[in-house]
Structure 1
Amino acid sequence: MAKIEKNAPTVEKKPELFNILEVDGVPLAVLSKELWDKICNFPARPDDLILATYPKSGTHWMQEILDMIQNDGDVEKCKRFPSLDRHPFLELKFPHKEKPDLEIALEMSSPRLIKTHLPSHLIPPSIRKENCKIVYVARNPKDCLVSYYHFHRMASFLPDPQNLEEFYEKFMSGKVTCGSWFDHVKGWWAAKDRHQVLYLFYEDIKKDPKWETEKILKFLEKDISEEILNKIVYHTSFDVMKQNPMANYTTLPTSIMDHSISPFMRKGMPGDWKNDFTVAQNEEFDKDYQKNMAGSSLTFRTEI
């Protein structure tokens, strides 16, 4: 039985909009223990496609790619709803929605694309039992940290990050929502040897989006024409998505995400962490990285 502690004191909250449930030492943005029980018992279907990520690792980007693939490159179909309303998060409840995304998922027809930020050991057992295909995207931790910090600044449902120095310390110690980046990426890296997991890297997708999209197509056992493939790559590029209201989160009320503080789609370029890290932070980070990743075959590029 997972150990659950509600409102863990290590994560600060913005008033009324945020609730922390600590499960096996992992701080999660889950509304209640009752909702967590429903998550654990979530009835997966064999044709469910799961998109798993640590926050700010390309979740939104990969959702758009997968949505375009599932809709054979039909741009208008992929603009049917704003991004956040097209595919549910397994564990989240957003302030502007009447019910948790899990309940929305239960009402959806198949095939479903379901997103999650849960570490591998906390996903519902039914996902493994039904042998669902899982696409996991990992991003280098330096860019992930900076992007997560700015997201905390603009998203009302996340704790106030105070400043980058304080957020840096919390990120490095795993005291942020979804816990340790190190544990998350390593856990899913190990899971790929036991389950149907396609493990992708943000930096690889950025460097060669067509090649990585072809990997996804092969994993999903889906054939499309070269023309549609090129269309998918174009319409899921950062610059095009940033101008698409159905993909850039600008349709949300500013009370939920305030783009005047920081745009949701900020830069998306590997290596941007250099504009925020101090020399001392970078040196300290590299030491901690070597310690935490010792013995792992995982490697990350911090720029391309």
Structure 2
Amino acid sequence: MAELNKTYPFEAVDVDPDQLEQIKNFYDDTFLTFFTTRYGPKGYLFPHNFGGLGAEIYNMELRPSDTFVVTFPKCGTTWTQELVWLMANDFNYEAAAATNLNTRFPFIESSILINSNAMPTIFMDETIKETMQKNICLLEKVHNLPSPRFLKSHVPLSMLPANLLDTCKVVYVARDPRDVAVSFYHHSDLMKTLKEGSDFKTYWNLFIKDLISWTPFFEHLKEAWELRNHPNMLFIFYEELSRDLAACARRIAKFLNKEVTEEQIEKLCDHLKIDNFKKNKSVNLKEMQQIGVFNSKGSFIREGKVGGWKKYFDEEMIQQADQWIEENLRDTDLRFHQ
């Protein structure tokens, strides 16, 4: 660990035993791994073995032509990836349809998700092995990708390379945490990480206690908000994308130094409509359901609604959320779009 700390300044601390029990009582780690260790002064929650990969990511060699999409999970990441990739690649819909998004736009820390005990079983089946290799990224692959590279991460900005914003472009997407929690709950159920009968209210209480992967949510968000005026940073709210996708697409085009026509924007917005997006085989991860890694019910692209949380929160949770949001935004001018 001492050697690692020379190039990786984030100390690892195990989650408090009582909190660890709460996680274990709620999660199933048959296939995907528990996030049980806090990294750095803000205590971001990752698997215990993240340090090795974290150091590789923190020290990875960047290129000026790289484009990152960075978000807390379930903030419109996939939607934004597809938008950015198509715009940067001259709206090549044929190439996008022919190639899995996770191949075009790798999720750089995805290898930490897989429970190492499940690996031998997974890779006994060639179909499963092939599908997993399409969707799970080894950082070595990223190093060897041709330029320009398009890279996705949920790692907070402070734990990505220190020269990230001075070297390449970053699109950061933020979303109301109540909608994030609902979407992440359904996503976790889809990925079979929740125990049978796990309820949303329990999930919500783990979320606000920073006991869900990649939390604390507000620290992640505020890091990006503080850097929003950097010329290589584009900070967008999911709610803006939902309300006026065309306007956001024009902002992204300007950020990427791409000239676009209104016809191109119109076609792109139609391509990204939620009903069309759900049917898009290159982004909806249906293969993962077909091999049994994901739950057969539900879908990776779900509803994409703003304010959908209202169906899930009782009065106690509404008051709890209001207080939690107010406390965390007290010393910042960050406010969520409605």
Residue 171 of structure 1 corresponds to which residue in structure 2? 207
Q: Aligned-pair distance for 1:235?
A: 0.6
Change (3 A) 1:31 1:238: farther
In structure 2, give the amino acid aligned to 1:40: Y
The letter for the 2-side match of 1:103 is E
Q: Which of 96, 103, 120 is the matching residue for 1:85?
A: 103
Q: What CA deviation, in whole Å up to 9, does each residue of 1:56-107 have, x standing for no partner?
A: 0000000110111022222111112222232111222165238743222111
Q: 1:119 aligns with which of 156, 159, 176?
A: 156
Equivalent position amino acid for 1:139 in 2: R
Counterparts of 1:65-144 in structure 2, within 5 Å, are 65-93=83-111, 95=114, 96-97=132-133, 100-130=137-167, 132-144=168-180
The yes-or-no answer on 1:17 pairing with 2:15 is: no
Structure 1 unmatched ranges of 5 or more: none
Match of 1:247 in 2: 283
- Offset of residue 155 of structure 1: 0.9
Paired position in structure 2 for 1:223: 259
Q: Which residue of 2 aligns with 1:53?
A: 71
Q: How does 1:133-282 map to 2 (within 5 A)?
A: 133-156=169-192, 158=193, 160=195, 162-194=198-230, 196-253=232-289, 254-260=291-297, 262-282=298-318
Aligned residues: 299
Give the superposed CA RMSD. Answer: 2.2
Q: Give how far 1:31 is off.
A: 5.0
- Distance in 2 separating the partners of 1:16 and 1:243: 26
1:2 maps onto 2:18 in alignment: no
- Aligned residue for 1:67, secondary structure, equals helix
TM-score by length of 2: 0.82
Rounded Cα–Cα distance in structure 2 between residues aligned with 1:78 and 1:105: 18
After superposition, the C-alpha distances for 1:230-262 in whole angstroms (9 at most, x for unaligned) are: 1111111211111111121112245322241x3
Give 3-state SS (helix, strand or coil) of 1:135's partner: strand
2:54 aligned residue = 36
CA apart distance, 1:198: 0.4
- TM-score norm. by structure 1 comes to 0.91
The 1-side partners of 2:180 and 2:217 are apart by: 9
- Give SS of 2:110's match: coil
Cα distance in 2 between the residues matched to 1:88 and 1:248: 15
Whose radius of gyration is greater, 1 or 2? 2
What are the ranges of 5 or more consecutive residues in structure 2 without an aligned counterpart? 1-8, 115-131
CA contact (8 A) 2:106 2:150 kept: yes
Q: CA deviation at 1:16?
A: 4.8
C-alpha spacing 1:31/1:225, structure 2 compared with 1 (3 Å): farther
Q: Offset of 1:129 from its aligned partner? A: 4.6
Shift of 1:50: 0.7
Decide whether the 8 Å contact of 2:69 with 2:153 is kept in 1. yes
Asked whether the equivalents of residues 30 and 92 of structure 1 are also in contact (C-alpha less than 8 Å), the reply is: no
Identity %: 27
Worse overlay, 190-199 or 93-102: 93-102
- Asked whether the 8 Å contact 1:30–1:91 carries over to 2, the reply is no
Q: Secondary structure at the match of 2:178?
A: helix
